[in-house]
Structure 1
Amino acid sequence: MLRQLREEIITGLLKPGALIKDAEIAARLGVSITPVREAITQLAAEGLIDISPNRTRQVTQVTQKSALELIDVMMVLACAGFEWGVDNITDEHLAALRVKLDEFADGLRQGNATVAAAAGADFSTVVILASGNRELQTHVDLVVTRTLRVLALTAESDVWKVWLEGYRETLQLLERGDRQGAVERYRQIYRDYRRRVAALLFDGDR
């Protein structure tokens, strides 16, 4: 229930500003109102749904400012985790990174942005978890979810190239043993990503 609603918001099936009505969602998904309300509460905590003082609920509006702020936060958290974890990378971690990179590329080739996004997030997770800081990973996961919602990118978007090329080059550096170079290349992904997003137009800014 929660996962389905989150997916509908992230993919843009539920548009920014769309009203969220418990009874309508419950009827559409064939569930009772209680799990719908619980899901809405959780999604509000994640920043995906806004609840007004009069209790009206709607999908959070998107602005360029909010997108860039999320990217800035994601960059600080993810890059810190990557830097902390990179010295603990083993051959098993490298193999896992290769698998996630392949899944990411396959998802894009198949036109499945959801699969690609999940694999891309998992690529970073492999290194961040190597740091041993699971609390940090929890916060990264939350920000990544909100960022995906803000952008709602299709598989055809050229923004994905920033991540695909960045991950490939980062992994190559790790496989060569250049860990500091890998950290800097990983950090560059976010700088390039931010520049691309800054050039996009958002309905909330017009």
Structure 2
Amino acid sequence: MDRSLLRDRALTAIRQAIVVGDLPPGSPVRDVELAERLGLSRTPVREALARLTDEGLIESKPHSYTRVTAVDPEAVRDAQVVVQAMQSVAARLAVPRMGEPELAAMRAANERFATALAAGDPLAALTADQEFHAIAVRACGNAAVAATIGRYLPALHRLVLLRFDTLAARDSVRMHEEIIAACRAGEADRAARLVETNWATLTTHEDRSST
């Protein structure tokens, strides 16, 4: 298998383990153990850990430790501002490039999102929500926007899962429907505003859940 594919496989698996809490904050990370667990060599695992360090999910000190970072609410809020802005840009750029396949995919993702919320399954809800917004990111055709979102989204998702509020998240089902309607109508600016509002509610919900 291509080396980059092995690295991406390791990256996806380790990142998800951190986001869902299988590797909790402060837990030591050893490349040998992870390689064994994933059935990979140490090289792609080390490359994945380097990427996760850039994303702020892993921290290390040479000859001392490599561990999962603590959740820093302030840093996550900073990341949320960046993701919110870039998702809005993605929506504005994507609307003129969208067709029925993208709209259908958004509707299907929102249905999965609503189903997961009704079942009280935060991980499935988070996955469906990510799939919903990823459609516009892919359609926008801007690699810089996609890379910036990818850089900051995992840390944001980690806090969302820790403080998941099913009742608050249900507002997003309706918001997603409004975003789809704006995209279908070709209203790029309106879609961008709705996406920005949707991501802004994340901070409101997090603040509410911490009080």
TM-score with structure 2 setting the length: 0.80
Mapping of residues 97-116 of structure 1, within 5 Å:
97-116=106-125
CA distance change for structure 1 residues 201 and 170 in 2, over 3 Å: closer, same or farther? Answer: same
The residue that corresponds to 1:90 in the other structure is 99
- Between 154-163 and 17-26, the greater mean CA deviation after superposition: 154-163
The residue that corresponds to 2:192 in the other structure is 183
The residue that corresponds to 2:178 in the other structure is 169
Amino acid corresponding to residue 103 of structure 1 in structure 2:
R
Indicate if the aligned counterparts of 2:117 and 2:166 stay in contact, CA closer than 8 A: no
Cα distance in 2 for residues equivalent to 1:104 and 1:45: 29
Shift of 1:54: 4.7
The residue that corresponds to 2:141 in the other structure is 132
Cα distance in 2 for residues equivalent to 1:82 and 1:28: 38
Number of residues paired by the alignment? 202
Cα distance in 2 for residues equivalent to 1:82 and 1:99: 18
Cα distance in 1 for residues equivalent to 2:66 and 2:17: 15
**Gaps spanning 5+ residues in structure 2: where?**
1-9
Shift of 1:127: 2.0
- 1:102-154 deviation per Cα after TM superposition (whole angstroms, max 9, x unaligned): 12223333444333323222222222333221332122123222211233247
Indicate if the aligned counterparts of 1:26 and 1:33 stay in contact, CA closer than 8 A: yes
Compare the two structures and name the one with the higher helix fraction: 2
Counterpart of 1:2 (choices 8, 11, 21) is: 11
Cα distance in 1 for residues equivalent to 2:93 and 2:64: 42
3-state DSSP of counterpart to 2:170: helix
The residue that corresponds to 2:76 in the other structure is 67
Amino acid corresponding to residue 114 of structure 2 in structure 1:
A
Determine whether 1:45 maps to 2:49: no
Counterpart of 2:26 (choices 17, 21, 38) is: 17
Cα distance in 1 for residues equivalent to 2:129 and 2:62: 37
Amino acid corresponding to residue 197 of structure 2 in structure 1:
Q
The residue that corresponds to 2:7 in the other structure is none
3-state DSSP of counterpart to 2:71: coil
The residue that corresponds to 2:161 in the other structure is 152
The residue that corresponds to 2:132 in the other structure is 123
Cα distance in 2 for residues equivalent to 1:53 and 1:159: 42
Cα distance in 2 for residues equivalent to 1:162 and 1:145: 22
The residue that corresponds to 2:207 in the other structure is 198
Amino acid corresponding to residue 97 of structure 2 in structure 1:
N
Indicate if the aligned counterparts of 1:111 and 1:155 stay in contact, CA closer than 8 A: no
Shift of 1:52: 2.7
The residue that corresponds to 1:81 in the other structure is 90
Indicate if the aligned counterparts of 2:114 and 2:170 stay in contact, CA closer than 8 A: no
- 1:130-183 deviation per Cα after TM superposition (whole angstroms, max 9, x unaligned): 322133212212322221123324766334224323212222333455544333
Counterpart of 2:152 (choices 119, 130, 143) is: 143
CA distance change for structure 1 residues 126 and 96 in 2, over 3 Å: closer, same or farther? Answer: same
Indicate if the aligned counterparts of 2:138 and 2:146 stay in contact, CA closer than 8 A: yes
TM-score with structure 1 setting the length: 0.81
